[in-house]
A and B are shown apart, each in its own frame.
Chain A
Amino acid sequence: KQEVTQIPAALSVPEGENLVLNCSFTDSAIYNLQWFRQDPGKGLTSLLLIQSSQREQTSGRLNASLDKSSGRSTLYIAASQPGDSATYLCAVRRSGGYQKVTFGTGTKLQVIP
């Protein structure tokens, strides 16, 4: 059974800092990995999607990397802003067969002005 862990569970940083969020998974037979952000009382907003054959994806100040063999992904946020405050979730889709996705428990980020 796939297990997805995110460390740290919560993070508080001053505005302007660069930061890294970590995601690890136990089964490396994945199809892709997706990073989301979730604002309080809202659904999930997709940030980046990395296919299993890719090493990284970039969008603006965000960069996500994937090391499938070691079961790890990182989300790098450059020059953090208060608007980045949210919970960040990684989700792993298994390879083969159905589309089942396993989520981590998230990292709650607070960026202090």
Chain B
Amino acid sequence: GAGVSQSPRYKVAKRGQDVALRCDPISGHVSLFWYQQALGQGPEFLTYFQNEAQLDKSGLPSDRFFAERPEGSVSTLKIQRTQQEDSAVYLCASSPTGGKQPQHFGDGTRLSIL
């Protein structure tokens, strides 16, 4: 497709379950970003990939959060042993190369932990 695609759009899980969120960036985009957006807040940076290399994961809130992009295209954000405070919208963005290019966002995955 022409834009960044995220799946699922909505995910409901029980506390303690593991979840996996998928991001399909725009074809050919080198940079990929994950953000967490709480209700009424701006997105918070989680992690950044350049191709398959995870260059910055300083925003991941705990070791329960893990992201990968093994072939430099599709990325998966995994959350283990989910907790209620993990409830948020998780946004993925991609850009062609480096910092001069604007980021293109997907519609996000709304995660609700019961």
Chain A residues with a Cβ under 8 A of chain B = 4, 31-32, 34, 36, 41-46, 49, 51, 89, 91, 93, 98-106
Q: Is there contact, CB below 8 Å, between A98 and B42? A: no
A100 touches B45 (CB 8 A): yes
**6 nearest interchain CB pairs?**
A103-B42, A43-B105, A44-B105, A98-B56, A46-B102, A43-B107
Listed in ascending order, the chain B residues whose CB lies under 8 Å from chain A are 4, 6, 31, 33, 35, 40-45, 48, 55-56, 58-59, 91, 93, 98-100, 102-108, 110
Among the listed A44, A51, A89, A102, which residue makes an inter-chain contact with B100, where contact means beta carbons less than 8 Å apart?
A51
Q: How far is the CA of A101 from the CA of B35 in the complex (A)?
A: 10
Kindly state the separation between the CA atoms of A43 and B33 in the bound complex, as whole angstroms.
13
* A103 CB → nearest B CB, Å: 3
Q: What residues of chain B lie closer than 8 Å to A98, measured between beta carbons?
A: 48, 55-56
Contacts of B48 in A (CB 8 A): 98-100
Provide 10 A-B residue pairs closer than 8 Å at the C-beta atoms, listed in order of the A residue. Answer: A42-B108, A44-B103, A49-B102, A89-B42, A99-B31, A99-B48, A99-B56, A102-B45, A103-B42, A106-B42
With A43-B105, A43-B108, A99-B31 known as contacts, the answer to whether A31 contacts B99 (CB < 8 A) is: yes
Contact B102 A43 (CB under 8 A): no
With A31-B99, A43-B6 already in contact, 19 other A-B pairs whose C-beta atoms are closer than 8 Å: A32-B100, A34-B103, A41-B107, A42-B108, A43-B91, A43-B105, A44-B91, A46-B103, A46-B105, A89-B43, A91-B43, A98-B56, A99-B55, A99-B56, A99-B99, A100-B48, A100-B56, A101-B103, A103-B43
Q: How far is the CA of A61 from the CA of B51 in the complex (A)?
A: 36
Evaluate contact between A93 and B99: CB separation under 8 angstroms: yes
- In the complex, how many angstroms separate the beta carbon of A92 from the nearest chain B beta carbon? 11
Q: In the complex the two chains form, what is the Cα distance from A104 to B31 in whole Å?
A: 21
